[in-house]
Amino acid sequence: MNLRPDNLTAAVTAVPVKPRGDWAIVRRLLRDYLGGKWGLLAFGIGCMVVSAAMNGALAGIINPAIKRIFILKHSADLIRIPLEIMGVIVVRAAASFGEQSITNTIAERISADVQRDMFRSQIRLDIGGLNAVHSSEMISKFLYDTTLLRNAITRGLLGMGREVLTLIAMLVVMVWQNWELTIISLLLLPPVAWITDKIGRSLRKSSTRGMEETGTLSKTLTEALTGRRIVKAYNLEDHVTEIAEGRIAKRLRYLLKAVRTRSAAVPATDMIGGIAAAITVAIAGYLGIHGHLAINQFAAFVAAMLLAQQPVRNLSQLQTVSTEGLAAANRIFGVIDAKPDIFDRPNAKPLAVARGSAVRFDRVSFRYNSEAPGLDNVSLEVLPGQKIALVGPSGAGKTTLFNLLLRFHDIDGGSITIGGQDIRDVTLLSLRDHIALVTQEPILFDESIAENIAQGRRNATRQEIIESAKAAAADDFITAQADGYDSQVGEGGLRLSGGQRQRIAIARAMLRNAPILLLDEATSALDTESERHVQEALSHLMEGRTTIVIAHRLSTVLDADRIYVMDRGRIVESGTHSELMLRNGLYARLHHRGLDEREPG
Ligand SMILES: Nc1ncnc2c1ncn2[C@@H]1O[C@H](COP(=O)(O)OP(=O)(O)O)[C@@H](O)[C@H]1O
Ligand SMILES: [Mg+2]
């Protein structure tokens, strides 16, 4: 995949990111994320002003110090002036503590708020939107972009304020000593700005590439780790190491380029600053020799000018940090603004379903954004409490039919109704509340067994959880675990066998107690022994529910009220087992080979 920044962002958000002006981004950050923090911010800025003023005072104090102590030789000032210096330093330390802790607090809070909003928006996208992005790329954006934003706030926006204030304080001191000299020394600003801009551009380019490579690298790591069993079994360690090394090296190249550029920034500004200082000293010396500038003025002026170089130098770096941060904020807003394509219609009502209402597909057509057929003119009906079976070769569109009933995608033509209500006219929440799905690969979260079951219905009591597990023939092995229902299942449920995982998934569906049940080849990944247990669990689950089962074993289809045979997105045959055997069509052929075999070609 081409990972140019624009494509990357587009992929992550599933909608193109609007280019926004820097000010539009800053305004939105202020509006959405600084609300409630104004008091804190005002206090932080107050600290900055005090700290900058104290810096100015330190430079300025050199003038009276030289004049009173060295020229006028007032011995009383020998105590007073050092005490003043001490006082200024203490105040500056307090202000600087306030400023640092406040700016960082604000930045961390904003970054956490942004992460919360990103997650909320991302998880509410429809499946199509979520599928459009590699999960680990999303994760690295989630962490990396928010870090860039946080840095931009601490070092960029707020840091900029601090440096500008310090610079102003130094200029005040310089003007106070001699304004003509101040103007001369200001002539060095244009070349500094020019160099800063050049370096900033180059840095932005290499750090954007660095961030893209960070995304690619985390994708590589996730894939190597999730595929660890295959990596081991096929001796792919060297292969994946080679890929990872390549990506690490590529990322390093961009990062080193950024390091070189960044390292050049300070010496380059220093050189200009140094030249300017030399010229100013020469001119100031000339004025001094001709009696236009006193030694105390000269000393305070040069001190302020040298102290002003630090803020200038920092400002030259801040620009890059804030540009990076603003670009990151723009990508973040793209993620936050992404809207699902599937949502409730304005007047959507909750689905009204008596237990086991009829499910109807009426001439349904659907296409994924690809060549694949999806579904083509599919009609089928399940009456309340009935069980129908879908069979057909792999890729026929069986799972797609489930995806459409759950409204993971919206159909292109025809209609799907439950109890006579079009599923697009009811709320998504109520639609999915009335359906329990058991997938081919059970999906467990790295939580306790009880918590995994409770995902079926969040407010279930412990007793209900245990009853569901019993009905799913899972109670025996659960209580045999070290921590029983509180045992952690490990990443993806890896500490349990396939059959145990599936029975937990069935207990979850049992707890949901939904009138409509969708079983997607729930036993296909299991050995015969586990299958026997799971089958028992499933027959409890199906009692009294309208069930559609994607079947690959004969035993599942034999007692179905009707069997629909699918091929290439269409329903090609339907009937009972014996009717279909008599037809001697696809079903009979599939049956002779065993339903779970693949159709050749
Ligand atoms: N998310 C998706 N995006 C694009 N094409 C898909 C997607 N899911 C499935 N398909 C395609 O749709 C067809 C039907 O897939 P599916 O319903 O999963 O088949 P079955 O469950 O019958 O094996 C296949 O050709 C598959 O490649
Ligand atoms: Mg399938």
Whole-number Å distance, alpha carbon 551 to ligand 2 midpoint, is: 10
Averaged pLDDT for residues 110-124 = 92
Domain of 56, CATH number, reads 1.20.1560.10
Tell me if 394 CB under 6 Å of ligand 1.
Answer: yes
The pLDDT value recorded for residue 174 is: 92
- For residue 1, pLDDT beyond 60: no
Tokens of residue 452, six digits: 């995994």
Residue of minimum CA distance from atom 14 in ligand 1: 397
Question: What is the atom index within ligand 1 of the atom nearest the CA of 128?
Answer: 1
Distance, C-alpha 111 to centroid of its chain: 12
Q: What is the largest CA-CA distance in the chain?
A: 121
Tell me if 397 CB under 6 Å of ligand 1.
Answer: yes
Burial degree of 346 (CB within 10 A; 0-12, 13-18, 19+): exposed
Residue of minimum CA distance from atom 11 in ligand 1: 372
What does the pLDDT look like over 530-541, one tens digit per residue? 777 778 888 888
Alpha carbon distance, N-terminus to C-terminus of the chain = 28
Compare 594 and 444 and report the one with higher pLDDT. 444
Specify whether the CB–CB gap between 144 and 175 falls below 8 A: no
Distance, C-alpha 33 to centroid of its chain: 17
Instruction: Please tell me whether residues 301 and 384 are part of one structural domain.
Output: no
Domain closes at, from 303, 337, 371: 337
From the CA of 567, the nearest ligand is 1
Specify whether the CB–CB gap between 174 and 276 falls below 8 A: no
Q: Which of 457, 466, 461 is nearest to 432 (CA)?
A: 457
Percent of the chain exceeding pLDDT 90 equals 42
Residue 348 falls within a domain, yes or no? no
DSSP strand E in 400-500: where? 413-418, 421-422, 435-438
Question: How far is Cα 93 from Cα 330, in angstroms, rounded to an integer?
Answer: 36
From the CA of 393, the nearest ligand is 1
The pLDDT value recorded for residue 116 is: 94
Instruction: Please tell me whether residues 311 and 389 are part of one structural domain.
Output: no
Domain that holds residue 261: 5-337
Per the DSSP assignment, residues forming a β-bridge with 385 are: none
Which residue among 370, 410, 548, 570 has the greatest number of ligand 1 atoms within 8 angstroms of its CB, and so is best to mutate? 370
Q: How many CA atoms lie within 13 A of 102 on its CB side?
A: 22
The pLDDT value recorded for residue 518 is: 94
For residue 331, how many other CB atoms are within 10 A of its CB? 22
Instruction: Please tell me whether residues 388 and 454 are part of one structural domain.
Output: no
- For residue 5, pLDDT beyond 60: no
Instruction: Please tell me whether residues 382 and 448 are part of one structural domain.
Output: no
The pLDDT value recorded for residue 212 is: 78
From the CA of 408, the nearest ligand is 1
Instruction: Please tell me whether residues 247 and 390 are part of one structural domain.
Output: no
Specify whether the CB–CB gap between 146 and 111 falls below 8 A: yes
Instruction: Please tell me whether residues 43 and 93 are part of one structural domain.
Output: yes
What does the pLDDT look like over 345-369, one tens digit per residue? 999 999 987 655 799 999 999 998 7
Main-chain phi, psi angles of 387, to 5 degrees: -125, 125
Please calculate the CA angle 48-53-58 and round it to the nearest 5 degrees: 130
What pTM value is reported for the model? 0.77
Tell me if 368 CB under 6 Å of ligand 1.
Answer: yes
Query: In which order are the strands placed within the sheet that holds 435-438?
Result: 435-438, 516-520, 546-550, 387-391, 562-567, 570-575
Question: What is the atom index within ligand 1 of the atom nearest the CA of 520?
Answer: 21
Question: What is the atom index within ligand 1 of the atom nearest the CA of 398?
Answer: 22
pLDDT interval class at 599 (50, 70, 90): very low
Which residue among 134, 366, 367, 368 has the greatest number of ligand 1 atoms within 8 angstroms of its CB, and so is best to mutate? 368
- For residue 313, pLDDT beyond 90: no
The pLDDT value recorded for residue 539 is: 85
Residue 94 falls within a domain, yes or no? yes
Residue 374 falls within a domain, yes or no? yes
Percent of the chain exceeding pLDDT 70 equals 94
Residue 601 falls within a domain, yes or no? no
From the CA of 570, the nearest ligand is 1
Tell me if 571 CB under 6 Å of ligand 1.
Answer: no
Whole-number Å distance, alpha carbon 389 to ligand 1 midpoint, is: 18
Instruction: Please tell me whether residues 84 and 18 are part of one structural domain.
Output: yes
Instruction: Please tell me whether residues 266 and 408 are part of one structural domain.
Output: no
Residue of minimum CA distance from atom 24 in ligand 1: 395
Question: How far is Cα 442 from Cα 520, in angstroms, rounded to an integer?
Answer: 10
Tell me if 555 CB under 6 Å of ligand 1.
Answer: no
Q: Which of 151, 154, 150, 165 is nearest to 310 (CA)?
A: 165
Residue of minimum CA distance from atom 17 in ligand 1: 397
Instruction: Please tell me whether residues 33 and 172 are part of one structural domain.
Output: yes
Domain closes at, from 513, 534, 550: 513
Q: Which of 270, 294, 291, 55 is nearest to 173 (CA)?
A: 55
Question: How far is Cα 530 from Cα 49, in angstroms, rounded to an integer?
Answer: 72
Tell me if 403 CB under 6 Å of ligand 1.
Answer: no
pLDDT interval class at 10 (50, 70, 90): very low
Helices 38-60 and 159-177, interaxial angle, to 10°? 30
Specify whether the CB–CB gap between 282 and 127 falls below 8 A: no
Which residue among 126, 376, 399 has the greatest number of ligand 1 atoms within 8 angstroms of its CB, and so is best to mutate? 399
Domain closes at, from 304, 337, 370: 337
Question: What is the atom index within ligand 1 of the atom nearest the CA of 396?
Answer: 22
Whole-number Å distance, alpha carbon 367 to ligand 1 midpoint, is: 10
Q: How many domains does the chain have?
A: 3
Tell me if 150 CB under 6 Å of ligand 1.
Answer: no
The answer for 356, left when phi > 0, alpha when psi is -120 to 50, beta otherwise, is left
The pLDDT value recorded for residue 111 is: 92
Whole-number Å distance, alpha carbon 387 to ligand 2 midpoint, is: 18
Tell me if 396 CB under 6 Å of ligand 1.
Answer: yes
Tell me if 225 CB under 6 Å of ligand 1.
Answer: no
CA dihedral 80, 81, 84, 86 (to 10 degrees): -110
Residue 439 falls within a domain, yes or no? no
The pLDDT value recorded for residue 432 is: 93
- For residue 262, pLDDT beyond 80: no
Q: Which of 98, 88, 269, 255 is nearest to 192 (CA)?
A: 269
Domain of 572, CATH number, reads 3.40.50.300
The pLDDT value recorded for residue 89 is: 95
pLDDT interval class at 171 (50, 70, 90): very high
Mean pLDDT of the chain: 86
Cα–Cα distance list, 150 to 105, 207, 592 (Å): 10, 16, 63
What does the pLDDT look like over 12-70, one tens digit per residue? 333 345 667 788 988 998 899 988 888 998 999 999 999 999 999 999 998 999 999 88
Residue 247 falls within a domain, yes or no? yes
Instruction: Please tell me whether residues 480 and 413 are part of one structural domain.
Output: no
Residue 345 falls within a domain, yes or no? no
The pLDDT value recorded for residue 9 is: 33
Question: How far is Cα 383 from Cα 40, in angstroms, rounded to an integer?
Answer: 62
| β-pair type (570-575, 562-567) | antiparallel
pLDDT interval class at 598 (50, 70, 90): very low
Tokens of residue 120, six digits: 């909320």
Main-chain phi, psi angles of 5, to 5 degrees: -55, -40
From the CA of 402, the nearest ligand is 1
CA dihedral 154, 59, 273, 153 (to 10 degrees): 10
Residue 451 falls within a domain, yes or no? yes
What does the pLDDT look like over 173-197, one tens digit per residue? 999 998 888 888 888 778 777 877 7
What does the pLDDT look like over 458-492, one tens digit per residue? 899 999 999 999 988 899 999 999 999 999 998 88
pLDDT interval class at 553 (50, 70, 90): confident
The pLDDT value recorded for residue 388 is: 94
The pLDDT value recorded for residue 8 is: 33
pLDDT interval class at 142 (50, 70, 90): confident
Instruction: Please tell me whether residues 147 and 267 are part of one structural domain.
Output: yes
Tell me if 129 CB under 6 Å of ligand 1.
Answer: no
- For residue 526, pLDDT beyond 80: no
Tokens of residue 498, six digits: 């396939």
Whole-number Å distance, alpha carbon 372 to ligand 1 midpoint, is: 7
The pLDDT value recorded for residue 13 is: 34
Instruction: Please tell me whether residues 456 and 566 are part of one structural domain.
Output: no
From the CA of 440, the nearest ligand is 2
The pLDDT value recorded for residue 387 is: 92
Main-chain phi, psi angles of 550, to 5 degrees: -85, 120
Main-chain phi, psi angles of 480, to 5 degrees: -80, -15
